[in-house]
Amino acid sequence: VPGVRPKDEALPEPRGADLAERLPVSTPSTVKLNVDPVTVQLLQDTVTRYVMPGAEIEIADVTPLRAGLSGAEIRRYRLDLRSPAGERATTSLITKQASRTERRVLAHLHGQRQPGVPFSRTLDMEADAALVCLQDVGDVRRPYSLDPITPEQLRAEARSLAAIHHANLGRGAELAWLPRLDRTYVERRVIEGWWRPHWEAALRNEALRGVLAPYIEEVEAVARRLPEEIAPVLEDPGYHTLIHADVNPSNVLLQEGRAYFVDWPTAHYGCLFVDLPHHFCSLEQAEYCRQALAERRVEIEAPEFEWRYRLAARMIGLRYLWWTLEDAGAAARDPRWVLHYIGMITAGAMPAAG
């Protein structure tokens, strides 16, 4: 009869607090929580593989996590588990709508049992976008570059990254499906995409132009020369590996002394130095990376490391400067971040000849 609600809908809508409450295992909470069957299947499958073989799951609650820059929705599921023997446990998993590249990279890295990458599972490796389920590695982000960081945190991050870089060094044939990060990427994406439009807009703002004035000539000279100067670094196959290419604090989570890298849609096959300067933003900090690579017998002599690192730092400074310029008023009032990236762009010696 029109106008008459089915019985279930007559129940009061669950309030936020109810969602956070753990429901008894016997309740069909997946229906109440409006979780679609594909997601339930993915969660079930992930639990069975990686958490508790054969366990039945009950969804206790779902929390949407703040979507990152891509806006892809990320959800945290708290689950009650019951093993075939009747044992009970709880766990937490993350789901994300992920591109094909991201799902392939996650599967590849999981296949390598990378210590610094959450385990992952997808039911569809072919579609352009599909849900991936990830190990929940918590909410502690790596500190921002302007905030203090401990040597232990730097070491943990350097080790996770070195493990990824080392395991994939020279494996271009196997990773033929990954895009290459080459000179064209620097020209089109870094310089013309991320840097120039924001730089030019910033210079049109009088207050911000005042802050930038002492650096304009040098930053523009670096931007002009960089694609050619960095080409030998980017093109040296000796340092080619699977790289993340968007290392930033929202993509590096710290849990129990370990650093985990998430958010892999921007992964490339390219020069490992590209992944270092954003978080190891001085040569002194980058030494943790050199050491971590050496622990895995990727030995790079200090001078050799230094000139490659410095060129990569210029590129990374130009790559990320944009976000500090977006709010010109704020940047003019507090230019610490602007000057941080400009420091990376203009720092240090010119590359060794040859």
Ligand X SMILES: Nc1ncnc2c1ncn2[C@@H]1O[C@H](COP(=O)(O)OP(=O)(O)O)[C@@H](O)[C@H]1O
Q: How many of the other CB atoms lie within 10 Å of CB of 146?
A: 9
Among 118, 227, 277, 317, binds ligand X (CB under 6 A): 118
The region of 43-51, 67-75, 291-299, 301-309 touching ligand X under the rule CB under 6 A is 67-75
Q: 112 vs 85, 100, 172, CA distance in Å?
A: 31, 18, 16
In the list 63, 70, 97, 282, the residue contacting ligand X (rule: CB under 6 A) is 70
Near ligand X in 172-231, by CB under 6 A: none
Contacts of 193 (CB under 8 A, 6+ apart): none
CB within 8 Å of 171: residues ≥ 6 apart? 241, 242
Question: Where in 238-257 is the site for Mg ion (CB under 5 A)?
Answer: 250-251
295-326 per-residue burial string, b: 16 or more CB within 10 A, e: under 16: eeebebeeeebbbbbbbbbbbbbbbbbbebbe
Among 48, 63, 101, 250, binds ligand X (CB under 6 A): 250
Does 140 interact with ligand X (rule: CB under 6 A)? Answer: no
Which of 270, 190, 252 has its CA nearest to residue 227? Answer: 190
The answer to whether the beta carbons of residues 309 and 282 sit under 8 Å apart is no
Let me know: does 22 contact 80? Beta carbons within 8 Å.
yes
Looking at the Cβ atoms of 65 and 201, the one nearer to ligand X is 65
Q: Provide the pairing of β-strand 56-65 with 129-135.
A: unpaired
Minimum distance from residue 140 beta carbon to ligand X (Å): 9
Q: Quick one: which of 40, 65, 203, 330 contacts ligand X (CB under 6 A)?
A: 65
Nearer of residues 142 and 165 to ligand X, judged by Cβ: 142
C-beta closer to ligand X: residue 61 or 306: 61
Residue matched to tokens 């030995």: 299
Where would I find the H helices in 326-346? 328-333, 336-346
The interface with Mg ion within residues 65-104 (CB under 5 A) comprises: 68
Least distance in angstroms from the C-beta of 63 to Mg ion: 17
Question: From CA 238, how far away is CA 221, in angstroms rounded?
Answer: 28
Binder of ligand X out of 33, 50, 68, 180 (CB under 6 A): 68
Of 258, 343, 279, 277, nearest in space to 143 by CA: 279
Among 162, 186, 262, 274, binds ligand X (CB under 6 A): 262
Q: Which of residues 257-286 bind Mg ion (CB under 5 A)?
A: 263
Residue nearer to ligand X on the CB measure, 73 or 304? 73
The Cα 143–Cα 141 span in angstroms is 6
Of 121 and 159, nearer to ligand X (C-beta) is 121
Q: How far is the CB of 271 from ligand X (least distance, A)?
A: 23
Amino acid at 235: E
By CB under 6 A, tell whether 315 contacts ligand X: no
116 touches ligand X (CB under 6 A)? no
Q: Does 106 bind ligand X (CB under 6 A)?
A: no
Among Mg ion, ligand X, none, partner that 118 touches (CB below 5 to 8 angstroms by kind): ligand X
How many Å apart are CA 321 and CA 146, to the nearest integer?
A: 14
Of 20-28, 64-72, 269-277, 317-325: span binding ligand X (CB under 6 A): 64-72
- Pair 200, 216: CB distance under 8 Å: no
Question: Which residues would be at the binding site for ligand X (CB under 6 A)?
Answer: 65, 67-70, 72, 74, 94, 96, 118, 134-138, 250-251, 253, 262-263
Residues that bind Mg ion in the complex, under the rule CB under 5 A: 68, 250-251, 263
